[in-house]
Chain A
Amino acid sequence: MVKPEDTFEMEASVGTSETDIKPYGAANAQVPTIKFARKIYGMLLNNQASSTNTLTIKIYDTDGTTLLRSIAITIGAYDTLDISRSIDSPILTVYAGQYLKAVASVASVTVVMNAYDL
């Protein structure tokens, strides 16, 4: 069973170039292959721009280049989107070997995600 000490955050300031979403100390945005999946159960998104911004969350396949999923989230100027779910009902699943990245239509969006690995 996942306990609080097993959870972690991933933070990034996402601009118009694709940015890795990864935990502290990770070499890259890939979910380790010795895991089963990374479960994201919380998201805090803050649009730092003075106009409406679209944050696109992207999940790439294990080759790092094949785009599997793309999720566009639109946020108003200076708005904050706070999504909080229980550990048992995560928002997003990224499977072992896949990569999690994000890009904004306008610089920048502050991204904080709560996650745990299975």
Chain B
Amino acid sequence: MNGSGYIRDILTPIRQALLAENMNFALIFPVRIRNDWKFELFFFRVMRRYVLHRTYDSELSELSAYGQTGYSVDFKYVGETAMGSGDDVLSIWHEYPFRILHFGIGIRPSEIWLYKAIPSGYPQTGWGYKILPSVGNKRDYIDGYLSPYDEPTVASETILYYKLTVYLGLVNSSGRKVRPSLKFFGAGYDCIPITSREIINRMIVGAIPCRFITVGGLTEFPYAIPGEWKNNSVEVDKKLVESLMLGGGRYG
């Protein structure tokens, strides 16, 4: 990752997109994305980080060949014992409101299609269709070619905090029965919130390095944030961005 924080190549290995201690990042949430758009951002600085790694394999069932009964799994949370069963392995205890999980998902074999819904009921998409994708659609899935098991990439980049979890769907697109394997690999961060408007403005225009991360794809979705974040919200709209780009320092 370059000093500016931009990750342009969506197939960048996730290990090259992770943040280190003392780096800044902002999470972007959609307030309004139709016509008159507005986004809500939360800015943080990483104080501590540790590797995040978990394999998920024996918990998964064998999937039938493509098109046969049992070739897919609809959206479920990642359970301790199986998809949708047991504790959610990606959950964060509410006592850690400033713990962020940042990871990619490695997929094996390459013909497994992975769909993400963040939160439940809101499948992630990059397209502009009226209807959100379903498990089995030929769009908006990530397969092992885009995010290989041994080297998960930014294509599967996922951000979670204690009020947010991810639901996964699976499709076996191969002509044979397959038991997939997944690998969650990235880092967990302990963060402090950045609330200075002057610093935030400089981050928005790129004067201070900051990695901006979209949460939940391009879907419009209702999101819950920790109560501890409530006073740190920054609303960004066209007027603010243009004002800052012209050298204006006003916020809000």
Contact = CB atoms under 8 A, between A and B. Distances in A.
B144 to A, nearest CB: 8
Interface string A1-38: 11101101000000000000011111100111011001
15 contacts: A3-B109, A5-B109, A6-B111, A23-B65, A24-B176, A25-B65, A25-B176, A27-B65, A30-B175, A31-B175, A32-B65, A32-B67, A32-B173, A32-B174, A34-B173
Given A25-B176, A32-B174, A117-B175, A3 B148 contact: yes
A24 B67 CA distance: 15
A27 B64 CA distance: 10
Nearest to B66: A32
Given A3-B110, A32-B66, A26 B148 contact: no
Interface residues of A, number: 19
Interface of B: 64-68, 108-111, 138, 144-145, 148-149, 173-178
Contacts, number: 50
B187 to A, nearest CB: 25
Contacts of B67: 32
Contacts of A32: 65-67, 173-175
A35 B110 contact: no
Contacts of B149: 5
Given A26-B65, A27-B68, A5 B110 contact: yes
Contacts of A23: 65, 174-176
A31 B108 CA distance: 20
B110 to A, nearest CB: 5
Contacts of A26: 65, 175-176
B56 to A, nearest CB: 15
A5 B148 CA distance: 11
A6 B66 CA distance: 15
A97 B252 CA distance: 59
A83 B173 CA distance: 28
Given A3-B109, A26-B65, A31-B175, 15 more contacts: A3-B148, A5-B109, A5-B110, A6-B111, A6-B144, A8-B174, A8-B176, A25-B176, A25-B177, A26-B175, A26-B176, A30-B175, A32-B66, A32-B174, A117-B174
Interface string A25-54: 111001110110010000000000000000
